[in-house]
Chain A
Amino acid sequence: MAYNLTVSPDFAPDHISGWYFFNTWLQRQLEVGVHLELYDCFEQQRKDIRSDKVDMIYANPYDASMLVRELGFKAVARPKARPDETVIAVHADSPYNTVEELPEGITVATTDDPDVHTMGMIMLEPADLDKSNITTKEVDSYVVVAKNLLNENAQVGFFLKDGFDELSDLIKRQMKVLVSSQISVVHHVLLVGPKMQEFIPTLQERLFSMHQDEKGQGVLSSMDLDQWEPMTEEETEFMIDLIDTLVLE
């Protein structure tokens, strides 16, 4: 029987090959077939998750809530020192230097990444901005968010901090950061669905020592991760509670 692995669509395109290396590594460790399915958008991935087509997922924290509380997934590991933080940036020549100066009616370039969008909207609240008095322009990637700022098709852009940091210096120099979140306890998590839970002990043993051998370390660095670390059930529930306080009021 083959299992299905997928990855939250917000990973950087540069690391696609890393996830294929990880899939190969995983099959060797578990001695079972695992198929890696990558998605361009969150919507299609969520549809397949609901249709029971996913057994293991590197999930973003927003989706972790549905996966754990509704679908019985369990957290097996989290990436060490890789919190998900959000950056709000504007064009370098923008007249705005703080979030509070942003006026109603601005256009915000954003992606379909639910965490970044939620945190971005929260960081606009000090300016009394919400979905009723701004226009959002959803685009496919952080590079396109940046392009919208540089072409002045949007006044404000939301970025995953890692996505922002990976932009070229040439692009970054043409933007200025108004605010960068410092939450530190919200991060992606590797989750295993009900059909694969018998593998959790082996999986954790191998994942937590993965950075100690050369091959494992190579796979990790190709995914831009340093190492996996344990995440307890309570830590997972805590992160989900925190996300719940931030969404839908």
Chain B
Amino acid sequence: MSDQDTGETREVTINYYDGTSRAAEIVDREVPYPDGKLIVSRTDPNGIITHANQAFVDMSGYTREELIGTNHYILRHPDMPAVAFAGLWETIEAGKKWHGYVKNLRKDGAYYWVKATVIPNIRNGKLVGYTSVRRKPSRSKIKESEELYATLM
């Protein structure tokens, strides 16, 4: 759990890049990343989730049915700067692999940190979607990312 956790709850409106928004209750409580697991999801080229493994379901707090067909940005935590995701999309749309540290928002308002890698899925030369694999980050990388992202908000 992060030293900064207060357990406090706040109401936040999260604005997404496509102009939509939602009201979310944010709880300042970290859920530890489980040892030895990978969170795996796939999306279509527009970021709509098409596959979610059990670790993703467990950590996000959503059911698989809730995740499939939803935009991946449902996980976006308001503490994550928009510029981080702009860099992600710029990289993967150029056909390259992206990786970075991400604070994800759970359905219950708590959060979890991941080291995420996203790659484009190319079939017969055509982009059919993206695969994202998340793994356990170190505490030092989380601390560095918290400090960096705070300056980018």
Contact = CB atoms under 8 A, between A and B. Distances in A.
A237 B35 contact: no
Contacts of A100: 138-139
Interface stretch (B66-74, B114-122, B145-153): B114-122
B42 interface: yes
A244 B97 contact: yes
B102 interface: no
Contact of B99 (A98, A182, A237, A249): A249
Interface stretch (B10-18, B79-87, B129-137): B129-137
Nearest to A123: B36
A238 interface: yes
A132 to B, nearest CB: 14
A223 B82 CA distance: 52
A125 B97 contact: no
B140 to A, nearest CB: 5
A194 interface: no
Nearest to B99: A249
Contact of A128 (B51, B121, B138): B138
A4 interface: no
B136 A249 contact: no
- Residue among A122, A184, A238, A241 with the highest chain B CB neighbour number at 10 A: A241
Contacts of A181: 36-38
A126 B137 contact: yes
Interface residues of A, number: 24
A246 interface: yes
Given A99-B35, A180-B36, A245 B133 contact: yes
Interface in A111-134: 122-123, 125-128
Given A99-B35, A241-B131, A244-B119, A185 B137 contact: no
Interface residues of B, number: 27
Contacts of A245: 97, 117-119, 131-133
Contacts of B138: 100, 125-128
B26 interface: no
B35 A179 contact: yes
A180 B36 CA distance: 6
A249 B97 contact: yes
Given A241-B121, A245-B97, A245-B117, A179 B140 contact: no
A183 interface: yes
A242 B137 contact: no
B36 to A, nearest CB: 4
A161 B115 CA distance: 24
B2 interface: no
Contact of B117 (A99, A128, A249): A249
Contacts of A128: 138, 140-141
B126 interface: no
B22 interface: no
Given A125-B115, A249-B117, A242 B139 contact: no
Interface string B96-124: 01010000000000000001011101010
